[in-house]
Structure 1
């Protein structure tokens, strides 16, 4: 069992950082894509940990943040309405704190209760008012007594997905480390060119249905993933991916331990469209460039399923998804009627499915460059997020070596009490393991 840590956090400063160069007049209105405009206005949280060093300089961090906001100019704006941002250079919120404990106290006790105070104003997954002047981006720089640092970043989901946020942090870090870096510019044409709102109805935003959940971190080490893959390999699935096998295992054990039925419990996973569009989009395309793949009623028979069967269903579903959605969402085969129906379904059915408990929701952040953010102190020793209030939701992230997976699983407390003790799951996953890194 992990012991509880009493975090003493002292706020040193709070200020608003504005872009170093004003946004040009012709860019002051930034149109959101038809995907962006239905996305909920909750903050995506990320947390980057760096081992002790004595070379960090808050003034330089503020300066580089100001410079990168000139590049990511919509992030310093405010919402004009549901479908656009007023790029008025209002700025981003920056908090600096002093933590009266060592970084090791966190790494040796990585629970979400000990991580929560590290986020700015407790914004992780919180909802923001579209009519308020609240910043779209908030950052907290936490300085530990030992010299370690944790940088927490919360970005309003409506302006971008996890890939967008990782790109922003990596570019900020590069600008901090190198005075005149060669940075490929972010691409802001999702709303204007790729997925424009024009010609489509304005549907209401999706509501993030919040429950009283607890979050647990399950770590799948590479050797355990290889062992799991060995049980899944078949003629139909000769090369299962680590995300597929881990997702399938979590789904199977969740359905079993929560007393759900395989024939009525569907799962949903977010699919990044960047590489799947024809032609592929730039990896630094900004916005919510994802859509959701559902596997409805995976098995009609009331029986215990095998993991390889579920992986087969996932692969079939992804193949069908990639044939249809990239073509109909953009390019020569763009179909406004199809898009409109997708938006209608997304804004009317998701809340019902999640609330009923008949849906397991996944988001995989694996293979994003989450461990590349070097501000001049070396790469982060750990990157994580925060517990999400959506029950039966799962976020998958890379381990530091890029080969394992950390799964952040969110469930109601009574369900988690059963799930976290499941022997079949714990054959392959470690529950909230201690993080050990050289901090000298």
Structure 2
């Protein structure tokens, strides 16, 4: 990628001050153990419906709409007060604008995640927050010679999960479209009041008198990232294979793809199922009783483990274990984390286990961002041509994302280089996935 030129660096503040009674924003009991690193996302927009001449007006609109959005997402314009709360002081978020002399097509034609670093604000992706007063959200608008744009957002993981990040971007896009289509202040105010207000996670999972544990360690490794694309037809073949046993009915895309990656990672890396567990993040929003609002803010996820398998495990068995584990997860975490069956002792033990450094053994860690409407983020010039994230410096970690058509899956697999050399040549994996840079 050609050299970047930084055009501007600003701080965007909320359009209206945060009311005094909202100045201290409590974090939920899951937030309190999450490490302070940044979750990154990157959205590419082709130049089909806009030109370079319009980039300045688009950036102006992005700033105005972001300012109004921050009046809704007011905690994100504040600073971390301590491990349990945010001081909503309206200090704002970082907003950078850059230009590249190359066309966007030259980036997308042969995309390599390791070359995307300049597209992120201050290269914060997956890196820790430097100080308590650091920006909670940082944004960079990258303008290409053809008129194409790439928008990157880095959001502090301590206050948000991927679902929160997706909601934030889509609401920003809604405001931005409105600004381009309407100029009447009354109509802008009407839109502001009509969008549902994001609900704090602490409304459902309050810290209250639960013990405060240290933040879970975020162990960084020297990893490389590869993108494996599972097309819809290949996923259908996997589903047919898994359901042929009769034990699993209607397996999902995520179940079969994550099970295959787990199985092939254990095999190609010379590991065993006995000593290598599968860990996946589960969105609690639709698994509690009653379900939480879709726009609940915070880390409203917990972890499902699949472990203690035999020496060999067929794909059908792995999917069945995942499904059984999810059913048990809903009966325990889904019900005991909140609501009528809230169990403080159970929560305390879960938090203690999550912050304990595991001795021996290893994990294949998976996070699915599938079905999050990331491709719906239309800022007024069309939907993104591609949405991705940055390589993650955690070994044997996988992020699953939808392909643009919503039917396939892109798996971003992060491994140490010597392990990736084996994994990316695995014959059984490559029967279903194409390795694309």
Measured against the shorter chain, the TM-score band is over 0.9
Where 1:186 maps in the other structure, the secondary structure is coil
CA distance in 2, matches of 1:393, 1:328: 28
> Which residue of 2 is the match for residue 71 of structure 1?
72
Please report how far the alpha carbon of residue 189 of structure 1 lies from its aligned counterpart in structure 2 after TM superposition.
Answer: 3.1
CA distance in 1, matches of 2:375, 2:84: 32
Say if 2:273 and 2:307, in contact at 8 Å, map to a contact too: no
Say if 1:15 and 1:95, in contact at 8 Å, map to a contact too: yes
Q: CA RMSD in A?
A: 1.2
Say if 1:357 and 1:392, in contact at 8 Å, map to a contact too: no
1:391 aligns with 2:395: yes
1:118-267 superposed matches below 5 A? 118-131=119-132, 133-179=133-179, 180=188, 181=191, 183-191=194-202, 193-233=203-243, 234-267=245-278
TM-score, normalization by structure 1: 0.93
CA distance in 2, matches of 1:60, 1:194: 35
1:303-322 superposed matches below 5 A? 303=312, 305-322=313-330
Where 2:116 maps in the other structure, the secondary structure is helix
1:30-69 superposed matches below 5 A? 30-52=25-47, 53-54=50-51, 55-56=54-55, 57-69=58-70
Residue ranges of structure 1 left out of the alignment (5+ in a row): 1-5, 434-440
Structure 1 runs of 4+ aligned residues shifted over 6 Å read none
Say if 1:71 and 1:185, in contact at 8 Å, map to a contact too: no
CA distance in 2, matches of 1:20, 1:164: 21
> Which residue of 2 is the match for residue 437 of structure 1?
none
TM-score, normalization by structure 2: 0.94
Size of the aligned set, in residue pairs, is: 419
Residue ranges of structure 2 left out of the alignment (5+ in a row): 180-187
CA distance in 2, matches of 1:113, 1:325: 37
CA distance in 2, matches of 1:314, 1:113: 32
Where 1:377 maps in the other structure, the secondary structure is coil
Where 1:274 maps in the other structure, the secondary structure is coil
Please report how far the alpha carbon of residue 184 of structure 1 lies from its aligned counterpart in structure 2 after TM superposition.
Answer: 3.0
CA distance in 2, matches of 1:278, 1:159: 23
Say if 2:366 and 2:399, in contact at 8 Å, map to a contact too: yes
Please report how far the alpha carbon of residue 130 of structure 1 lies from its aligned counterpart in structure 2 after TM superposition.
Answer: 4.7
Q: Deviation string for 1:358-393 (max 9, x for gaps)?
A: 111010000011101100010001000001111000
Say if 1:7 and 1:117, in contact at 8 Å, map to a contact too: no
Where 1:332 maps in the other structure, the secondary structure is helix
Say if 1:206 and 1:346, in contact at 8 Å, map to a contact too: yes
> Which residue of 1 is the match for residue 344 of structure 2?
336
